Amino acid sequence: MFLAKNQLEKLIKQEKLIISPLLDNSQINEMTIDFRLGYDFLVSIQGRHPYLNSASHIPTDGAFYHFFQETRRNFGDTFLFHPGQTVLGATLEYVKLPENVSAILSPRSSYNRLGINLSTVIQPGYCGCFSLEITNTSHNPIKVRVGATMFQARFVKTKKTNYFSKERKYICSVKPEISGANKDQDLKLLELINKPIS
């Protein structure tokens, strides 16, 4: 069940749900909270390496960071999303979720209609700026304003969990971080299945 406005406001008042900064209370809607585009970006670029290799735990074809360029903007400045380009960003807001609430982040409908796409699920107890993995799926570049409320999160009550019961790759992220897909432990096992030791 998604949390309603009064439940979200109560959690914020009790400091169980932390959103910092919450620049305007009007960001809290009937069943969502609006989130703003932050000012740090990792923009996908074409480099000298042939492809992004997420199939190996030791990528020999170039690490992921070779495919992304770091850039910053002023708060209130503009940013251009090119068609088909993957851009990693972060919400302006730093969030700490209660241990029994998860969040589902999506573009606000107004930006979805332009071609901005992303879909992220955030685990209960998460703390940090929400990671944004954005793609412009339209055929045209889209100029946006840094700090605009481009995203919305729905909040779902879950069973109480401990976010730190297992090792986390991303803790207290405040800017976009390169994918940690190569660090998934399963990869070693899968590689072994593919090439068993004789």
Can residue 147 be called a binding residue for other proteins (CB under 8 A)?
yes
Candidates 3-11, 50-58, 66-74, 134-142 — which segment interacts with other proteins by CB under 8 A?
66-74
Given 67, 94, 151, 155, the residue binding other proteins (CB under 8 A)? 94
Can residue 148 be called a binding residue for other proteins (CB under 8 A)?
no
Q: Which residues pair with 132 in a beta bridge?
A: 89
Given 25, 60, 109, 167, the residue binding other proteins (CB under 8 A)? 167
Residue whose structure tokens are 């790759």 = 169
Given 25, 26, 60, 165, the residue binding other proteins (CB under 8 A)? 165
Is 191 one of the catalytic residues?
no
What secondary structure letter does DSSP report for 143?
Answer: E
Region of residue 150 (left: phi > 0; alpha: psi -120 to 50; beta: else): alpha
Given 5, 51, 58, 72, the residue binding other proteins (CB under 8 A)? 72
Least Å distance between CB 131 and other proteins? 13
Can residue 164 be called a binding residue for other proteins (CB under 8 A)?
yes
Handedness of CA 162, 7, 13, 111 (dihedral sign): positive
The answer to whether 11 touches 17, Cβ cutoff 8 Å, is: yes
**Residue 62: other Cβ atoms inside 10 A:** 15
As a whole number of angstroms, the distance between CA 38 and CA 74 comes to 9
Where along the sequence are the contacts to other proteins (CB under 8 A)? 18, 20-21, 23, 39, 71-77, 92, 94, 96, 127-129, 147, 162, 164-167, 171-175
